[in-house]
Structure 1
Amino acid sequence: MATVMPDIYFLPEWGKFFETKEQDGKVHFFEINNELGHIFYQFIVRPTPVQIEEETYYDIITPYGFSGPIILSGDLENKPQLINLFEKEFGDYCDEHRIVTEYVRFSPWLKNRLDFESLYEFRDNGHVLYIDLREEDFFMQQFASVTRGQVRKALKKDVEIEFDFTGEHVEEFHRLYMLTVKKNQIEPYYLFSIESLRSSFEKFGGSQFLLFAKHQGQYISATFVLHHGEYAHYHLTANDPEYSSLSGNSLIVYELCRWAVEHDKKEVHLGGAPNENLYRFKRNFTKAEPLELLMGKKIHNQQAYDQLVEAKRQNGGIELPGYFPLYRG
């Protein structure tokens, strides 16, 4: 029987696709599957950027997105034993593979960190927002009055919606996306090339689509949507600032919610908000409380970690003293 993953970020093909986001990274999988239950964990293993005694060490980071170790099955009474077994066997795995540190982007909505919170230290990365679609009428019960007004304004101004399930117009999305990148000065790690967007449709075509807003035949706003199981994700957004007065982006979120309800999704995730304006924009789509975004950190080999940090200090220095792992700072 095939294992059912709860969200797209846990799919093995997701990890494989995004391993190239990490320099020299290779996706690995670790599982415990026995009478106690089933834990699945995918992560990317990277060589550390500095070496000690001509020995190569490695560290772990979860793939782009939100995942981490997750319990896929098992009885509640067996959970403590299952977690203890995971801690021991995964610790042995890390020792065997010379893995020094681990950084986990846990899923805020699945809250899988709660099962593993005794194993990690956590860093607060703020919050992410989502729209709860289990309300009878998300438009009236979740959207703020100002946002409802923006949606109505877009419709009145003859803004049209177009779904693209094949990636036929990925060039138009990328054009709008690069305008947004330039405006918001997005960091290189979070950028997506047009080649990457095209190839993602070959890999995840059944789990993603583009949603455009158009005005008089011109593409003015767009969103790259991911979906799997009960969740839809407002993955990437793109806008032409010259048309911001038409509120195309607000109409897109509304139409995404309508699509999600029709396809039995229970939540639309809007992601985080690095600035106040973006937070206010997203917050007006939902009355649901924001979800905590916590990152798990663990040092598996303290001696090697200290030596790697010292090697970095002597070879270029530590530029980001708050970074984890510090030898990458």
Structure 2
Amino acid sequence: MTIFPDIYFLPEWGKFFESKEEEGKSTIFELKNDVGHIFYQFILREIPISYGKTTYYDIITPYGFSGPVIIDCPADRKEELIKLFDEEFQLYCEKNHIVTEYVRFNPWIQNLNDFKDLYQMRDNGHTFYIDLTVPDFFMDEFSAKARTQTRKAKKKNVEIEFDYSGSTTKEFHRLYHLMAKKNNLDNEYYLFSEEFLRNSFGAFKGKQFFINAIFEGKYISSSLVIHHGDYIHYHLTGNDPEYYHLAANSLILYELCRWGMENGKKEVHLGGGNSVVIRFKKGFTKTQPLKLLMGKKVRNQKIYEELVAIRENAGESLDREFFPMYRG
């Protein structure tokens, strides 16, 4: 039985996604004593600014949503454990020349509630999810429009295929990049090579699959699904815009929920997105969305200010809303 509540906390997740951060190194800090156990996985990044003879670093949690998480602790000793964590981690940061910390907290595990007093919070909007504990997700969570779209896809003979091995990675990659092009998504952080996607099936064996929608022998929509414990994530999706009218995505979400029910899952996380994407996702849930909150903390104020000053003295324009500012 795993001690980790969601896939984003798994050590193999951090290791696999360290490459998404420039010169990033997956790192784990653990506090484990007679009070309890806290696990914290992050990506250590070298700060690309020269200052003296010391190399300085900052940290960010891996792609997705994780942060420090309490694995074990009696309820009446949580406050004590968290205080110990902050003290020990501060010493760790000083020893390892870590200047700042950026945490993408997990909104469904809600580990933020335990650590919110340690960080300054940034509101990143909301994320949506489908509750699979209701008696009938199709009637209780899907809107009338979403139910109609699902039935429409079936009536139009859209077929669904589950791929647990990654053999259809090429098709998913094609569809994902069609979607990225249509939405002018050119940020490399959110784009994935075919090789990266294929390799992920080895890294997360038994924890992910594609759901593909096929029409007249052609792949028209595909979603990469990841799962662990009680949670499923509608992780990445690609579509062919020429076939939007067939509502294949609606059928994919229906089949995903059905798979989740059959496999004892409790929630399907849909994520957020732009206004159009959010409007689509809202059609599949009547559950209140969860807040996406990020934690920011300066672990070495003096060096932080010096690094910002170096950029400013070089005549560079900094985004004062960006954290850490010296990367803005």
**Shorter-normalised TM-score: what interval?**
over 0.9
Asked if residue 292 in structure 1 is aligned to residue 291 in structure 2, the reply is yes
Please give the alpha-carbon distance, in whole angstroms, between the structure 2 residues aligned to 1:146 and 1:55. Answer: 59
Shift in CA distance, 141/3, structure 1 to aligned 2, threshold 3 Å: closer
Q: Compute the displacement of 1:35 (Å).
A: 1.5
Q: Deviations over 1:289-313 (max 9, x none)?
A: 0100000000000000000001112
Give the unaligned 5+ runs of structure 2: none
The answer as to 2:232 corresponding to 1:232 is: yes
**Is the alpha carbon distance of 1:119 and 1:280 closer, same or farther for their aligned partners in structure 2, counting shifts above 3 Å?**
same
Paired residue secondary structure (1:93): helix
SS in 2 for 1:52: coil
Corresponding residue number in structure 2 for 1:73: 72
* Partner Cα separation in structure 2 for residue 91 and residue 262 of structure 1: 45
The TM-score with structure 2 as length reference comes to 0.98
Q: Give the total of aligned pairs.
A: 327
Does the CA contact (< 8 Å) of 2:318 and 2:325 recur in 1? no
User: Equivalents in 2 of 1:127, 1:53: separation in Å?
Assistant: 41
- Identity of paired residues, percent? 58
TM-score by length of 1: 0.98
Q: Residue 180 of structure 1 aligns with which residue?
A: 179
**Alpha-carbon offset, residue 42 of structure 1:** 0.5
Equivalent residue number for residue 326 of structure 2: 327
Q: Aligned-pair distance for 1:315?
A: 3.2
Task: Confirm or deny: 8 A CA contact 1:318 1:327 kept in the other structure.
Answer: no
Match of 1:246 in 2: 246
Structure 1 residue 3: deviation in Å? 4.9
Q: Runs of 5+ in structure 1 lacking a partner?
A: none
- What is the aligned partner in structure 2 of residue 16 from structure 1? 15
How far apart, CA to CA, are the structure 2 residues paired with 1:301 and 1:30?
A: 18
Residue 250 of structure 2 aligns to a residue in which SS? helix
2:161 counterpart letter in structure 1: E
1:56 and 1:282, CA in 2 relative to 1: closer, same or farther beyond 3 A? same
Structural mapping, 1:186-205, within 5 Å: 186=185, 187-205=187-205
Q: CA RMSD in A?
A: 1.0
* 1:86-165 equivalences in 2 (<5 Å): 86-165=85-164
Deviation at 1:316, TM superposition (A): 5.5
Say whether the 8 Å CA contact 1:44–1:60 is kept in structure 2. yes
Relative distance call for 1:259 and 1:316 in structure 2 (3 A) is: farther
Query: Shift in Å at residue 277 of structure 1?
Result: 1.2
- Per-residue CA deviation, residues 212-252 of structure 1 (Å, 9 max, x unaligned), is 01111110001000000000000000000000000000100
